[in-house]
Structure formats: structure tokens, C-alpha cells
Amino acid sequence: MTPDALSSAHQNRGVRVEAPEKGASGTRPRLQDAMPVNRRQSLGQGDLDFPPIPNGVDYLRSVVDHLDEATGVKPRDIKYAVLHLQAAAEVLLKARLFREHWSLVFKDPGKATTKTLADHSFESCTTAAAVERLRNIARISVSDQDVKALKALADDRNALQHFGLTHNARAVEARAAVVLDFLVRFLDEELLPHLADEEVREITQDMERTRGGLTTIQSFVTKRMNRLRGNALKGQDGSTTLCPSCGQFALILAAGGGRCHFCSTGWSSGALAEHFQSDWGTEQCECPACGAWTLADLVDFVSPEIAELHYCLECAARFPAGTLGACNGCGVPWPYPEHEAAQVLCDHCQRDIRAQELH
């Protein structure tokens, strides 16, 4: 979005950003200083008053309304839940970034000017960049799990806008709960304490509805997982891992792929391999047992008795941690040789060496 959530939210809702005065680049403006005009002046009958934080909270309320199981969740609800949750994340994260310093909401802070801030003619940073700046500059703690959830949400939004989204309601609801929980905590810790009492009162009803909706969604996820643990997942701890789609430990793996019993997503071995990226420095890893390029790096199963291991998503072969080393020729994971002094070489590299020796 160019300019995206922060500036477009202002522009499309009758809110004018007022830039810091010349020479004030070193100041830390209050967030409300970014939208003072319609706070100080009376609003016309047709004007909308949506500063960033109330705007973000309004988006969150819309999300929980669209994911309300009591009224039924339809495909249209899924679409708007994803769009509005992403919009809320962008608005709220950049609102806190603005409070740190107004130039940080620019895609390139080095090119930030008060003129382009005031007339909304700038391109703002991405959500990922906003998170990185909040972590590194504002020193705000954002867990890796929350970062991953925000990235998945942004991917869903992009897929929905450009290609269409195929996730079912259960998957979206489970993933939304993680982002919703993070944004509510973010509001409580980083944004609401800096609002005036009147501004807090104005959004109290929407915040209460959002908190209640989040509790309902989390309760739905918990109840469904408890039910599955007593049925479909019972006795499957050694084969159950985290589902990339819904983020629940409900994906039962078998030779050729797997199926998540929470969101009902079926996975081929190749599709799963794309999600279980290896840390071996190669884009794909070959299984020493079957030769398929579907070896996952350190799969974490539910069972506490099973240590992290390498797992082939095609043939279901398991290699406990410490049994594979990096091939000295190409870097793919390969079993350590029986003789400790020997180099770790995969079959391909061994064949190449023998062929070179013959010539």
C-alpha cells in the first residue's frame, strides 16, 4: 500500500497529519500530535474521526465480529477478518513507531521530510520493517513466535488480494488468535498508557468487545484441541507435529505427507518440505534412506520421549539428532561414517570422486 496503513488510514478517514515544526527532528512527539486538527477543531457532520489507535482498535473489533462462531463464519467473514487484522497490525505497529520518531514510519527514514509527512506523499515501511525497527530501535520485545505469526498474516493478506485464500475457517481462527493476542498486549503495554483519559474512554467499548472476542476464539481453539487429544490425536504423540497452516500441534505425519486434524488441511511430502526449511545451508535436503529431497531438519514431535530428529516427509525415515553430519562435498546432511577418521560424503559425492579417479 503506497502510502500504506498509517498514512492511508489518515487520508481516507478525514484525518490530517500535522508534521513536527521545523527544527524539531530530535523531538519525540506524542502520537496525538500527528492528528491534532480534528481533535482541536469541531468536526463537520460528514467528517470521520479515526486517528490511528481508535482506527486500529476498530479493525480488531471487526475481526472478532467476523470470526464470531455464534453467528457463523462464512467465506466473506474469513476474507474481511484477514484484511482487517493485517490493517490493524500495520496501523498499531506504526503508531508506536511514530511515537518513537516520525521518520521511522517512512520506508527510507533517511529521505523523510516534514512536507511529505504532512501531505501523505510518502511510502511507509512494511509491517516486517516496522517490527524490526521496534525491536532494534525502540527496544520493544516481540517474540519470534509473534514475528512468525505476523509474517504469516501478511502472506495471507497478499495471497487473498492477489490470488485468493484457500485456508479454512479453523486455520484462520487459530492463527488470528495468536496475532490478536499479541496486538491486545501491544496496545496495553505500548499504546494505551500514552493516551489521554478521554481517548481511552472512547475506545473502551471496542476494547472490551475485542478482549471478549479473543477469549472466545482462544476458548474455541482450546476446546477443539482437547477434544482431538481424546480422539483423533490419542496415542499419536510420536507422529504429531505443528501444522504450518493453523499453528496447532495436530498434524499427524505418515509416509508421503500428513493431515492436520484441527484445520483438516492435507499435506503432500513436497508441500511440507517447503515449510520445514533446513539449516544446513541448502535449499533442499536429500533423504539418505529413500533419495527424495524431502528431509526435514529437526522436526519437533509432541512426544517428550522423542528428541528432535531429522525426518523424511516422503518415506518417514527418522534420524535422531547427532546422527547426521554435513557432507564435505556438497553440504547435504548425511550419516556419519563408521570410521571416525573418514569424511562425511553423500552417495553423489562419492560417485563423483570415483569417476574423477577413473579419469
Same domain, 70 and 120: yes
- Please state the domain count of the chain: 2
Q: Is residue 357 part of a domain?
A: no
Contact 144, 26 (CB under 8 A): no
Task: Give the whole-angstrom CA distance, residue 6 versus residue 222.
Answer: 34
pLDDT at residue number 176 = 86
Q: Answer yes or no: is 144 within a domain.
A: yes
- For residue 319, what pLDDT is reported? 87
Please check whether residues 136 and 85 belong to one and the same domain. yes
Could you tell me the residue range of the domain that residue 267 belongs to? 241-326
For residues 193 and 281, membership in a common domain is answered with no
- Same domain (yes/no): 205, 264: no
Pair (278, 314) in one structural domain: yes
Indicate whether 260 belongs to any domain: yes
Residue 80 C-alpha cell reads as 474481511
The DSSP bridge partners found for residue 267 are: 258
Residues 212 and 295 in one domain: no
Residue 341 lies in a domain: no
Whether residues 195 and 252 share a domain: the answer is no
Residue 344 lies in a domain: no
Buried b (16+ CB within 10 A) or exposed e, 100-137: bbbbbbbeeeeebebebbeebebebbebebbbebbeee
Tell me: do 214 and 248 sit in the same domain: no
In a structure prediction context, what are the per-residue pLDDT tens digits for the chain, which is 359 residues long? 333 444 444 333 333 344 444 444 444 444 444 433 333 333 344 444 458 899 999 999 999 999 887 787 888 888 899 999 999 999 999 999 999 999 999 999 999 999 999 888 899 999 999 999 999 999 999 999 899 899 989 988 888 877 766 666 788 888 888 999 999 999 999 999 999 999 999 999 999 999 999 999 898 899 999 999 999 999 999 999 999 888 899 999 999 999 999 988 899 998 888 887 655 555 668 889 998 988 887 678 998 877 667 889 999 999 887 788 888 888 888 888 877 667 888 888 888 888 887 76
Q: Are residues 248 and 164 in the same domain?
A: no
Domain boundary among 196, 225, 254: 225
Q: Tell me, yes or no, whether 318 and 188 share the same domain.
A: no
Any domain includes 257: yes
Q: What is the pLDDT of residue 119?
A: 87
The predicted pLDDT at position 50 comes to 55
Residue 106 lies in a domain: yes
Q: Is the pTM of this model over 0.85?
A: no
**Parallel, antiparallel, or unpaired for β 266-268 and 333-335?**
unpaired
119 is a domain residue: yes
Q: Are residues 13 and 84 in the same domain?
A: yes
77 and 205 co-located in one domain: yes
